[in-house]
Structure 1
């Protein structure tokens, strides 16, 4: 109706306009009147047409909107019905919480799941697992609630939880997991050797006892056994039975050990078990790698490698988290190999006046570098070699032509060295006594291997192997050599082995000083390589003139304070071995605790060689005058001082340190003093020794001002330590639980092609997690010899260790 009124109004206005216009219009003919009328009619038609068209579109839009509204009204009803069904009838638990995880609402099924009234309760009181996962910002996880498994989806933006019962799915998954095969390889270690002395009947009986024990144990876990030699047995079982073995901690180890103890034989068992959802060929490789790892760790243990789990050890003598020496040696060897493989050339150098330990180590390192097919150069200035070394090289020169061909002078080395070269420094950590200090400036890729105590000055090395507990550098290098190349044996000639053995003998003084079980293991290894011990004795034998010279020097021995022998001469002796032999001979005098040989080595250099028994620390005494060494073996070279000054200083220190009587004073140590105390410790000493420590700037008198300053310093250190500990704890939280994945190629025989180093691990960790870790602080739980999950420990300080997983996968 309104549309018609509007249309009529428009037409009336149009007619009125024409009526008012006509008096003023003048038409001269009927044609003009008709034209004007047609124009007015056309305007009216156009206007009416536009009006109806617009009106039609409006009606259509309104109709469309009315249809949609009707559809939405109907759909809303059905959606509401479905929503009500989801929230109230379907088996989906829905929980709504506030910011403090207090339950504000739960649908009926959620209340059925928890079998209690949960509205108004804190989520932590309802389900600790649900709360902890949500509090850790996990959005999808599985929880166990009253024996049922639930997939949980958490919406942190609205604090909603959706719980779906997946118990049946998880049971199927569990059953499948339990049926995954586990393949084990069992070795009876040392069986033939241990039973070799028994008669046939005793051997058969004892073998039967071992096999019966293994069979009874396997029968408990429904395992299938198949021997493939007297000492090798296959074991096949299900994963669920392997889990039971793990739970019982492989009690077979104790059973085998008991049988061996009862029969007084040294037979143990090593076992490797792998359980992965892969084909049997690959599974067999993993099991073989596991049993080899058990053997390398010393046997009498089980190594278990389960897919997506850390490698587990049972029966190992060392704690699983501790670093065994063999694992450490292997990692060091592989790290050195990695550096050498990526270098352009390899240079090997010892210290000035290199002895047989240094030269023998150079020979061993030559064979290590030879494996990597790099150009190798032994830096040797013959005038800077020990006289004994010169003598031995001259004797065996026809038998070590290959070594001699690779020897160059420092002058030649300076021309060949470049920034991509690797320089190996052996038997010293001090740039001052390196064979040539200028060589050190030509490359930053320096590797140091040494057995001396760390001094104040050292090389800026990219990698170091330093163990002051080792008897010699030969001991360290031979251990590294055993793990440097696992694919093929490194050949060392009998003459070379004999020269290395000579270095071992010289540094231990015929296995008297600083020897341990490792020392004798290396000696046995060199003997197996053909070392001639009688030849070494011949090489090191004193000639007539040397013997007479030693006796001549000993004839002037002076006994100081009843227990200290001084052999002092103003003659020039540039033979350090001779000085050491004189000190060794003087130490054999009854009641002597330490012996010192002091002579000129040149016009401006005084040499001291010191030897002692356990009562006297000659290392500390000689360090005070610029020397160093070990507790019972030390040496020093002092320039631009007189013999009398050096002897007086040494006697003064001995009297202050070991003399009796005198007033007692308190001093505050400014650095660690072996046998006396640690830095900042307050100790009581004789007045003379106290003044000596003060003069050496190793201590200050414990005055009131000094004590106040010490207390303030301790407080500052305490606060700094607390800040550091807080920082390390924070860093531990960032590292713990994380993982890195490294791929490695596996050869046809199942062995790893290459090695995983701590350098690779920390680089991958930084790449994945943006946290930089010092590779020197990373320690692997065990060597990496197979795909699997390994644990890496990071020593952040003495008390804080973080750990993360290293996943090794096949490329």
Structure 2
């Protein structure tokens, strides 16, 4: 029995067959050597036998001591491991919660117990009562092991062991704090641009310019000191900004009120200055961060200035400001340069395709016909893409008039026909829009990388890729106005603009300015005067814009539901089961602006494509563009729209109210 116990004390490897075989060979070899020694000399045999016995005794002695020490070491190590496991279970910053089948807490480990307050008894309590966030995470079928849960002021990374119905909470409070501080102090780069600095200072003498610059320096210094911003003036009208993510969040909470403050302060001196800012963060490379900031500034300027755009990598941009109508910065020189550049691109192209946006209005069709006429004057093959199944009543009447002019109508093609005709060397010109998703035939842009954009809407994030030429002027009344100015610089002996094309262009201006009452500048009347001089028929325009009695009654029914959601902001909506054409919604919004007390009007109606459309109009004090952008649309400060899919009219109204309250507070 004792022998068996001793055998059990030997490690397993001592009983391995290979080790036993090796020992056996050594013993047999020694026996053979002893036998041979006896054969040669008896005294030598006795000597070898004695040596053999001594070696065996010494080996046995050392083996026994080694095994005893090895056993002692293993026992000690085993004890320490078990003790370490117990200490770890108690002292390691990992909380353990065991739950029963009803998700009630059956046991928590000692460490987690120390993190609870004396009054907090969690045993036998439902998990959702103890910590609702933990309960939600436990029930989430798509949970991941990086979920962070906050409990009693500490943050834990949670892991679930389903088979044991156990939760493991790793205390990462310190690391979360370090990460938060890191994120808060990550660098933010910005560019600040003085939109109309040259226009303001050109009328001042040296003393006036110096005083104006001194005022700007004082204001920006105070602003920078208040918000921990390093700024450096790199040119007369540009500043470089460097700040932290924490300060950026603070400035965003203030909605970049520096934009309004600087405009109001300078306006008191009759020197109304507007500024634009491009802010970027989220990149480790300062080069890329600076490029992104410049891109954001370009976007802000493309939208008319007087605003700030904040954007991180792979995030949607956030817009602030833009509360005033953009100032007229276009010059005759710029119009001439654009016209000449466009003519050069047209000349180098095989065919030219001009297309407006879906649900085209007079401005879209008119500017498209105008660009097509410029191409014809250069003796180029040009086609205007029009979807006859997607026209409003006024545009349908215009198309009927165009059919009487075979020379113009022969160049109008459907989207499908255009896709069959286009080749890689052809040119696509987008008019009255710049977002490919809004195009009548977006596939045309995929078949050629040559495109031009001519638009008067504020530039949005979604933009056509790598255009050869961009002519976006948000201050202009309409795209028709921009196109009309380009005719003056066309050097060609081709046929000039004809009466129907001039009428369509003038109709675009009339519609977009609401009969010259909105967004109208001196250049607008100059363009209208030119179109009248080349034969535009204003009487035909009035006839085309006449509305049907049913349309008038529809507008009246929508206005019956008018409600004020706050001072100056009114919403009217059609019934969810009734379908209204987009033009009816737009006209209804325009009508609401003529009512007393209405500064901004929103009309929500069901469209024929089973989407809900919102037409937004403003007299200028309220920026309806920003509100529509929050809901996926866009447009102008005083004229914007959007389409919502998958929601009812009432649901859309509730969402619109939330956006209005958040943006106008």
TM-score w.r.t. length of structure 1: 0.40
Q: Which protein is bigger by CA-based radius of gyration?
A: 1
